[in-house]
Amino acid sequence: MHSYVEAHRRSLADRDGFWRERAALIDWQTPFSEVLDYSRPPFARWFVGGRTNLCHNAIDRHLAERGAQPALVYISTETDTRRTYTYEELADEVNRFAAILTAQGVDRGDRVLIYMPMIPEAVFAMLATVRIGAIHSVVFGGFAAASLATRIDDAQPKVLITADAGMRAGKSVRYKPLVDEALRLTVHPPSRVIIVNRGIDAAMSSTPGRDLDYATLAAQYAGESVPCVWLESSEPSYILYTSGTTGNPKGVQRDTGGYAVALTASMRDIFCVAPGETMFTTSDIGWVVGHSYIVYAPLLNGSTTIMYEGLPIRPDPGVWWRIVAEHRVRTMFSSPTAIRVLKKQDPAFMKAHDVSSLRYLFLAGEPLDEPTARWAADSLGVAIVDNYWQTESGWPILSAQLGIAETPRKFGSPSFPVCGYDVRLLDELTGEEVGADRKGVLAIVPPLPPGCMTTIWGDDQRFVRTYFETLPGRSIYSTFDWALRDADGYYFVLGRTDDVINVAGHRLGTREIEEAVQAHPGIAEVAVVGVADAIKGQLPMAFAVVKDPSLLETAEGIGRMRAEVLSTVDRLLGAIARPGAVHFVTLLPKTRSGKLLRRAIQALAEGRDPGDLTTIEDPAALEQIRDALKS
């Protein structure tokens, strides 16, 4: 414990020394002149003046020593495909893709939108984009046309890269029609769409002049090599959209040098994966865990990464452990939801494989309940490491740092602040620090460490307002999570302070879902809350007021309206945002000033006491919620 406390203290007291040492883990084309420029708080510029490139550090710099080592192992149980790319082969693919992008006029600072299933070409596209100094924006393939359109209009990409289809549980999920629909909705459509045709959707249509076939381009540009564009450390590498309390997602902007340094160091200090060893992260490239720990960190570190398309229970619930055994995986990174799914299966599947190579199973993205953590530890016989972070941070904020100190873990706790993060727990009303075992808002004293978001794409003011001006007294970064710290210094994360919910580790804004439900012309008003779910952590539940109550007079009418609401959400946001239940009421509980009492609704939906409701306008609204839940 002492060595952790000392390392953390030093990371803040001698910030420059701490990060200078870690900056030596990557290559710099031009050395930086200053570790940190914090002359314009809360905007931090790390490794000022240093010039580097993410793709160079992820690929080129390993070629001399590790050219023949596997870099990317692709396994799809959906299409029964396995492909291994050595660092050399990955370099060829990425160079070729970079040549394709350059030929389409993509230049330094231009945006490239990637809307793809879990296929290697998605990784080639990301690395090719940063190679030429352009900025990628990967949009999760489960988002529907309207969500995609909003992100296109905000990022205004020059090129969009997609595929004909993805696969889920043996069924094809068509991507291209969604892209076509999104492009019809946008004000700023990209001029070119590159399509990786997997041969899944035979009926895929193409728009001549705009749509380009990847295989044709790949043949044309085979063998091309494209030099890296050296960026100043603070120049953006990518944008990743995340949900908040408004219906408008925020484009989290990441820098280049700080991200490369923080991620490379995290492989040593937190994830304990050495160059040459293998990491298996089960997320999707559309989420931050996928960006950081499927793609960038393992490659920056000279490790081997496994990219998996498929479910954890197909063809059988042993599939992940078979992969661990076959590839001698050292560290695995997954989500509590996935482990809860596996927990319902026959434990024999978990025990059937030799997982002796595995040292750690990292779990993040949502609260990790103790029974799930215990079950995973007992069945696998490996250490479970709960770690807490956000799209904004890009890498862990709270975690055991086993590469620094072997601190014991407590179930239910993601341990301690990671080195570089000055974490505080503050009283929401006074901004004062709270004592041991007291609930407070988890906040970070700026400057945020390297790797964290540098701003919101195109909106510096929103960055400052959203994150640094919500707690009283001073400018401090709010995570919008409640947490407490016990007397031994262990943190426990207690859930969001805002209206954001977490479904299977994916962050969704209740406002976004409400706006989608309200897009149905028959809905007057709606409240969406997150309700505890045994597998997914939380599920959205909607309470809607219809414009014409006569439509709900028969059971058939209710069923029809419910189905229409669900398909509206599917169409606008995607099935991941689909409410688990839709209830109809004639009145929603609000304060006298008209604010929805979401926390009271949520409490009732979870069978808890709704608490102090002196501000409620009409108590009958709560009775309606109670009745709706009973029916």
Q: Using CB under 6 A, pick the residue from 77, 331, 379, 390 that binds ligand AMP.
A: 390
Alpha carbons 385 and 393: distance in angstroms, whole number: 18
Site residue total, ligand AMP (CB under 6 A): 20
Residues 6+ apart with CB under 8 A from 386: 363, 364, 368, 373, 399, 409, 412, 413, 414, 415
Nearest-approach distance from CB 573 to ligand AMP, in angstroms: 15
Tokens for 67, please give them.
Answer: 């050219």
Q: Which of residues 225-254 bind ligand AMP (CB under 6 A)?
A: 242
Nearest-approach distance from CB 476 to ligand AMP, in angstroms: 16
- Choose between 57 and 502: whose C-beta lies nearer to ligand AMP: 502
Q: Using CB under 6 A, pick the residue from 164, 366, 422, 514 that binds ligand AMP.
A: 366
Q: Using CB under 6 A, pick the residue from 244, 394, 414, 440 that binds ligand AMP.
A: 414
Q: Which of residues 472-531 bind ligand AMP (CB under 6 A)?
A: 479, 481, 493, 496, 502, 507
Distances (CA, A) of 428 to 437, 475, 481, 610: 15, 14, 11, 20
* Residue 456 lies near ligand AMP (rule: CB under 6 A): no
Alpha carbons 86 and 72: distance in angstroms, whole number: 7
Nearest-approach distance from CB 306 to ligand AMP, in angstroms: 21
DSSP 500-541: EEEETTEEEEHHHHHHHHHTSTTEEEEEEEEEEETTTEEEEE
Tokens for 82, please give them.
Answer: 């396995």
Tokens for 485, please give them.
Answer: 């710290």
Select from 90-98, 138-146, 274-282, 381-389 the region that touches ligand AMP (CB under 6 A): 381-389
Nearest-approach distance from CB 442 to ligand AMP, in angstroms: 8
- Choose between 110 and 366: whose C-beta lies nearer to ligand AMP: 366
- Choose between 61 and 496: whose C-beta lies nearer to ligand AMP: 496
The H or E element spanning position 308 is strand 304-309
Residues 6+ apart with CB under 8 A from 484: 425, 434, 437, 438, 439, 440, 491, 492, 494
Crossing angle, helix 15-23 and helix 257-269, to 10 degrees? 90
Strand partners, 493: 483
- Choose between 349 and 360: whose C-beta lies nearer to ligand AMP: 360
Nearest-approach distance from CB 317 to ligand AMP, in angstroms: 23
DSSP 179-227: HHHHHHH-SS--SEEEEE--S--TT----TTTEEEHHHHHHHTTT---P
Nearest-approach distance from CB 546 to ligand AMP, in angstroms: 32
Q: Using CB under 6 A, pick the residue from 387, 454, 568, 624 that binds ligand AMP.
A: 387
Q: Using CB under 6 A, pick the residue from 391, 455, 538, 624 that binds ligand AMP.
A: 391
Tokens for 417, please give them.
Answer: 């602040």
Q: Using CB under 6 A, pick the residue from 120, 236, 249, 365 that binds ligand AMP.
A: 365
137 alpha carbon, distance to own chain's centre: 12
Alpha carbons 339 and 358: distance in angstroms, whole number: 16
- Choose between 481 and 514: whose C-beta lies nearer to ligand AMP: 481
Q: Using CB under 6 A, pick the residue from 226, 228, 288, 382 that binds ligand AMP.
A: 288
Select from 293-301, 306-314, 382-390, 541-549 the region that touches ligand AMP (CB under 6 A): 382-390
- Residue numbers of the site for ligand AMP (CB under 6 A)? 242, 288, 364-368, 386-391, 414, 479, 481, 493, 496, 502, 507
